[in-house]
Amino acid sequence: MYAVDLHAHTRFFHGRRSLGDRYDPLGVRLLAEVARRRGLDGVATTNHDYYTAFDPSPAVVTLPGIEITTDCGHILVVGSDPPRGTKPGALSPAEAVALAHDRDCAAIVAHPFRNSTVRELEDIPFDAIEVNGKHPRSQPLVEQLADERDLPLVGGSDAHYPFEVGRAYTVVEADRLTPASVVDAIREGHVSARVSQSGFDRLLRRGYRAIHEHKHVIDAIDRSTPGVGTPPGEEETADR
């Protein structure tokens, strides 16, 4: 079995692609080193709407991936051949999943209760649903959703800073750790989600929650979309 963070970013900022391209090689090395120190075996680089092939890390296995911004929310694509780039909001969830499957990758619903209405789509062949490390308080709702859809759960930290790596991760049952074996394990249901309960991670979550509550961008757990921000398609309702 392997412990793998399936949702991590090599940079702490969005946009400014040219600057990011220069920073990313350092970012992936920092991710891998922190992952090693936290006892992980691998980490997927899932940057927003682009994929860059990085040199293999001596610390842990780095898995190819991308976080696609669809017109309903984010979808993680992990596997040996993710798309090199996508235009934010240009693809529907169905198109993103089809693209992932055409490239022999797994398609995962990312943070289904934060900035997303992807969870409401019942006829799309997703491979798994994510327990997100940024706001794991929604885990009971995610577990219920996964049970209703008969899909496995995976864990990802959603790290934008290296110290966030591993706050949620996936246990992968496989003989060896490769992009293909991870995809197979997800599709066969040989995965499970874990959330770190270390003192540091609990403190970090409380800190983020305080910041988000101060900014009035986080909903209560008993509302329909707990998380940060307004889900796509609900902006007009939120403004009334």
118 within 8 A of 73, measured Cβ to Cβ: yes
Rounded to whole angstroms, how far apart are CA atoms 80 and 109?
18
Burial (CB count <10 Å: 0-12, 13-18, 19+), residue 4? buried
Measured in whole angstroms, the distance separating CA 230 from the mean position of its chain's CA atoms is 18
The CATH number of the domain holding residue 35 is 3.20.20.140
* 232 pLDDT higher than 80: no
* 2 pLDDT higher than 70: yes
Return the minimum-mean-pLDDT range out of 61-70, 114-123, 228-237: 228-237
What is the pLDDT at residue 213?
63
Rounded to whole angstroms, how far apart are CA atoms 47 and 58?
21
Q: How many domains does the chain have?
A: 1
C-alpha pair distances (Å), 136 with each of 24, 94, 181: 27, 26, 26
The whole-chain average pLDDT of the chain stands at 86
- The DSSP annotation for 106-148 comes to EEEE-STTSS--GGG--SS---EEEEESS-GGGHHHHHHHHHH
Domain range for 129 is 2-239
